[in-house]
Structures are given as C-alpha cells and as structure tokens.
Structure 1
Amino acid sequence: MSAEDDNLVRRYREGEGDAFAALFARYHRLVFNYARMTLRDASAAEDLLQETFLAVANGAERYEPRGHFRAWLLGICRHRCLDWLARRRRRQKIATETGFLVLEAPVLDSPRQDLQRRERLDLTLAAMGKLPDAQREAVTFYALKELSYAEIAEVLGCPINTVKTLIRRGRLRLAKLLAKADGIPS
C-alpha cells in the first residue's frame, strides 16, 4: 500500500483534493484509534485526528517516499498526542498549585448494550497506562494491527528487535495487570 499512498501524496501535491480525501478515508480510523488509546479521551482524539490531517495537508511537500506513509502519518499523530499530554500535565499542575480543580466531562460514546465491552476496554486502557511509555506505544501500534514491525520501528525510532522485545514484554505485563484486575492470582 505504500506505493499507492505515495501516489496519493504526489497527486495531492499536484492539487488533486480527491487524493487527500482518499488518504483521509484510508487512515482516519487508524489515527483516531491510536489517539484515543494514547489519550484515553474520545473528544481529544477527534481534535488530534483533525490536527494530524491538517499537519499532513500542510506538510505534504516535506513527505519523502523513501519511508512508509503510515509511519510518517502516525509519527505526526504521536507527536501531537505527546504535546497534548504535556499540556494536560501542565494544566493539572497549575490546577493543583492554585487550588482549582479542573473537571472534565465524561465521554459517553458507547450504547448501554456495550457496557461490558466498555468496562473491559476501560480496564485494558488503565492497565496500558501502567506500562512504561515505550512498551505502551509499541503495544498500541501492534494492537491496531495496521503497522508492520519495521513501520513501528520507524515511528518509534528504534531497531526492529527492540520493537519486538517491547511488544513481548508489554503484552506479558499487560496480561499480568489484567489478570490482577480480574482477581486472578499471578
């Protein structure tokens, strides 16, 4: 799909808006899912989805086809997510220092019949939040099943074997955390 993506980027650079629409249609779910898993906030993930594709539109001239478009796209999303998390930490620190409590509205995006699935997702996301950053990112990319090990390595800027190790260790730790949450002795 990389050659197709490269062709779409080239066509977008030449002024074909339909090419950008095709890239968005192909990757918007991947970007949203990554942002949602990283931020644990559907509303913020929507914002980051828009910011990411705006950055792609504005930075298409800088894309070099020697890499993978998906890795480049998710690298942009990853940096936007890290910036968002840093801003949230600063806001929380200021709120704590000034004595103001910042409350965020709960996200109600699941129907009632999905309650059990939603609870399991919440447990999984909470457990993923306990993983070291590198493991969490590698496991997230792996869980989305959209990237190869090589593409994950490209996004994270590390060797493929490191990615494999991060995923293996992250999945093992995640399994232990989920078993503990379910009351299963390890």
Structure 2
Amino acid sequence: MLRVKAGDLDKMGLLFERYHRPLFAFLYHMTGQTHACEDLVQNVFYRMLKYRHTFNGDGEFRTWMYHLARNILNDSFRQQERWGGPKYDIAELSEKLGGGVAADEQLEKQQELEALQDAMSKLSPEHREVLIMSRYQELKYEEIAKILNTTEGAIKVRVHRALGELKKNYLHIEKGSKAHEL
C-alpha cells in the first residue's frame, strides 16, 4: 500500500488479488447479500485509492482496510431504511456440503446451518461484527481492537458475550424446531 501511496497504482491490482476474497467474505457475513457485497468490495478499493494518502504504514494494512470497509458498510446501512440482519444463502452453503454425504445427513446439516443463520441474524450488529471478524475472518483480538478503536480486553469481552448470545439464540431456535416436529 505504501507503493500505491507513492504513486505506483499498478500495485493496487496486487492488493485486490490478495484481499478481495477475505473482504468479500467479511461483507457477505455482515449483509448476506452477494450482489451488494460485490459493490461494497469495489467501493472499498475505490476508497483505498481515493484516501491512499491517509495510510501511513504505522499499523497493519488489513486493519486500515477493515476500517474502511466498516465505514462503507455503515454508510450503506444508513442509506437503507431498515436493516434486518444477514440472510445467508442456505442453498449456496449446502452446495459446499456436497460430496459423499448421505441425503439425510446433508438435510440435517442444512437444518443446522439454517438454525445458525437465524441465530446469527438475531445478534446485535456489534456482536455479529466481532464474531465475523474473529471466527470467519480469523483476525486476532489485537487487530479487531485497532479496527474498532478499543482495547483487546474489551474485544475479548464482546466476543465472549456474543458467543453466549449466539448459543442462547441457537438453543432457542433448536427448541422451537423440535417442538414443531412433535
């Protein structure tokens, strides 16, 4: 990024190749909308170019990138009238389960994914965000703290609370689905 900042704009292609997939995954888990995420990723890279002068190289590039992504995501959410949480594409997820899995096992896994999706969508945006960053993006607590402008200890607490809320939501959903089966 320092080379891009210095004017070597060809290096932006290299950054795109390295980071567009994890960035897309982060945005997808936050919104659940494939087409919107493609636009959001493009906006992040556009802002990287536009605001390249703000990258000073003191911190890690990923931290700066996720900070930009969060700003774009917040701008996007503000433009929408109401945001009800991510709606994951279960068909897309179940395709990834394929292979030698028996049909009943695949159906069970799909139902578990749907329950997890529902549980994630019921999380507060703050809890969903720290879980996505820590579990899906595999960012370290220290990196998340820099992105969210807080302490590492605060992130540990947020992740712990988010996991507790997710577990509670998941068990409530599972309990409800078993009651319907009877």
Report TM bin, short chain. Answer: 0.7 to 0.9
Q: Does 1:163 align with 2:155?
A: yes
Q: 1:153–1:159: 8 Å Cα contact kept in structure 2?
A: yes
Give the alignment partner of residue 39 of structure 1, picking from 7, 31, 34: 31
How far apart in 1 are the matches of 2:83 and 2:164? 33
Q: 1:40–1:125: 8 Å Cα contact kept in structure 2?
A: no
Of the structure 1 ranges 164-173 and 138-147, higher mean CA displacement relative to structure 2 is found in 138-147
| Residue ranges of structure 1 left out of the alignment (5+ in a row) | 1-8, 93-105
Secondary structure of residue in 1 paired with 2:51: helix
**Alignment: residue pair count:** 164
Give the alignment partner of residue 180 of structure 1, picking from 165, 172, 178: 172
Aligned sequence identity (%): 25
Deviant stretches of 4+, over 6 Å: 106-109
How far apart in 2 are the matches of 1:55 and 1:123? 36
How far apart in 2 are the matches of 1:183 and 1:61? 52
TM-score, structure 1 normalization? 0.75
TM-score, structure 2 normalization? 0.77
How far apart in 1 are the matches of 2:79 and 2:140? 30
The alpha-carbon deviation at position 145 of structure 1 amounts to 3.6
Of the structure 1 ranges 122-131 and 24-33, higher mean CA displacement relative to structure 2 is found in 122-131
Q: CA RMSD in A?
A: 2.9
How far apart in 2 are the matches of 1:25 and 1:143? 22
How far apart in 1 are the matches of 2:116 and 2:52? 35
| Residue ranges of structure 2 left out of the alignment (5+ in a row) | 97-105
Q: Does 1:72 align with 2:64?
A: yes
How far apart in 2 are the matches of 1:122 and 1:45? 21
How far apart in 2 are the matches of 1:91 and 1:131? 13
Q: Does 1:20 align with 2:2?
A: no
- The verdict on how the C-alpha distance between 1:131 and 1:59 changes in structure 2, with shifts beyond 3 A counting, is same
Q: 1:70–1:147: 8 Å Cα contact kept in structure 2?
A: no
